[in-house]
Amino acid sequence: MKRREFLKRILTIAGISLIGGKGNVYGESPSDLSQRAVKSTGNIANRKNWLKYEALKDKQKPKEPYAVLVDLTKCIGCRRCEWACNEWNKNPNKPIKEFEESKDKKPSVFDKIRRTSAGAFTVVNRFYENGRPVYVKKQCMHCTEPACQAACFVDAFKKTPHGAVLYNPS
């Protein structure tokens, strides 16, 4: 038996015996834990999306996988791809005009590096190379067998029926 397999089995057995499928050692159910996590992080939008995708998990998967081809050398940072992704996946969205205007506003959406989340499967970040802005799109790749999900032994990543992998910090 390989070391990785051994550790996986031991941790699984320990987790099952400790939790017993009923929540945690304090008797809290998974929904109670979810509520507590929302209260501590203030991330209500993330929780709503998580619950929405939990309800969809038994639906039939799409017959054909989707793919997106992007030439990032032509990206101007308009963030229309973010808007379109939110529309397609029915995530919370703003009017497209707000996406385009946020680029030049102060403070700008590009002032900090953003990560994908349950409410935003696609984000565009701005970096500078030789004084010129370079826009980099980061998105969930909707992998058939996502490595992020396989690597997480606490089941914080869940793959939706539509392909996106969501991260639940609680």
pLDDT of residue 39: 46
3-state SS class at 126: strand
- pLDDT tens per residue, range 11-22: 787 766 655 554
Kindly indicate the confidence band of residue 151, based on its pLDDT and cuts at 50, 70 and 90. confident
Q: Assess whether pLDDT exceeds 90 at residue 130.
A: yes
The helix/strand/coil state of 13 is helix
Is 79:103 a contact under the CB 8 Å cutoff? yes
Q: Sketch the domain layout of the chain as residue ranges.
A: 1-42, 61-170
Gyration radius of the chain over CA positions: 19
Q: Would you state the torsion angle of the CA atoms of residues 109, 110, 115, 116, taken in this order, to the nearest 10 degrees? A: 60
Q: What is the pLDDT of residues 100-125, one digit of tens each?
A: 676 667 778 888 888 888 788 889 99
Contact 109, 83 (CB under 8 A): no
CA distance 168 to 148: 12
Name the pLDDT band for 40 (thresholds 50, 70, 90).
very low
Alpha carbon 110 to its chain's center: 19
- As a whole number of angstroms, the distance between CA 42 and CA 169 comes to 12
- Per-residue model confidence as pLDDT tens digits over 66-92: 666 778 888 888 888 888 888 887 888
The helix (run of H) or strand (run of E) holding residue 124 is strand 122-129
